[in-house]
Amino acid sequence: MKVSLREWALSDAPALAKLINNKKVQDNLRDGLPFPYGEADAKVFISEMLASDPDQNIAFAIEAEGELIGSISASRCGNIHYRTAELGYYLGEPYWGKGYATEAVCQLCDYVFQRTDILRIFAEPFAYNKASCRVLEKSGFQLEGVLRSNAVKNGRILDMKLYSRIREN
Ligand SMILES: CC(C)(COP(=O)(O)OP(=O)(O)OC[C@H]1O[C@@H](n2cnc3c(N)ncnc32)[C@H](O)[C@@H]1OP(=O)(O)O)[C@@H](O)C(=O)NCCC(=O)NCCS
């Protein structure tokens, strides 16, 4: 296994800041992250992850090659959706194209379905984000539809795709 998921540590802040202080990464995520993104921002994020309820926010650092390479989480939704969770992930650019994200998504899904009562994990990549759509397809997610004109990012109106993976047993 090339990839491992582990708890965040405050000492990850410098490496995390390097991974995410990159427009090419941030352009594929929702808005709200600072840019430039520095170590202080990373410390805030990591502190939030460490303080969050692990049954509500299942968040891990992704490690490979002996280094921090990215971030992954499944966030439980509320109200009648309380047994669904939204998946999010990113890797630093030097680590793209090596199969790491697919391994991380598969490991997170196994963890969520084994350790929580969540029934459904979903993700909403931008439709143009072929690499992310492929990661989901390789990780056993099904395409449920295209969410037309569902976001405005960097001034562009974008479609998103809705993928989900359902608990099997
Ligand atoms: C999306 C992201 C997580 C992919 O990580 P990764 O480790 O490179 O993904 P993997 O190597 O596991 O798989 C990528 C797949 O997409 C394919 N792919 C990559 N770019 C592609 C493109 N432009 N068109 C079609 N397929 C593409 C790869 O060939 C591979 O599929 P294959 O194994 O069938 O050949 C990474 O690029 C990233 O962090 N991007 C920025 C943030 C982001 O987009 N996060 C997801 C938000 S929904």
Domains for the chain: give ranges and CATH numbers: 3-122 (3.40.630.30)
Q: How much is the average pLDDT of 41-61?
A: 98
Report pLDDT digits (tens) over 55-77: 999 999 999 999 999 999 999 99
Q: pLDDT tens for residues 140-163?
A: 999 999 999 999 999 999 999 999
Element (H, E) at 90: strand 84-91
With a 6 Å cutoff on the Cβ, whether 90 touches ligand 1 is yes
Atom 37 of ligand 1, residue of closest alpha carbon: 96
Q: Residue 34: which residues within 8 A CB-CB, separation 6 or more?
A: 41
Alpha helices in 21-160 (DSSP H): 23-26, 39-51, 100-115, 130-138
The CB of 25 under 6 Å from ligand 1? The reply is: yes
* Contact 72 CB / ligand 1 (< 6 Å): no
Cβ neighbours for 144, distance < 8 A, ≥ 6 positions apart:
122, 162, 163, 164
The residue whose CA is least distant from atom 10 of ligand 1 is 99
Q: What is the pLDDT of residue 115?
A: 97
Q: What is the mean pLDDT of residues 19-46?
A: 98
Q: Is the dihedral of CA 110, 81, 52, 100 positive or negative?
A: positive
pTM: 0.98
Cβ of residue 153 lying under 6 Å from some atom of ligand 1? no
- Give the Å distance between the CA of 148 and the centre of ligand 1: 22
Q: What is the spatial distance between Cα 135 and Cα 120, in angstroms, rounded to a whole number?
A: 17
pLDDT tens sequence across 101-153: 999 999 999 999 999 999 999 999 999 999 999 999 999 999 999 999 999 99
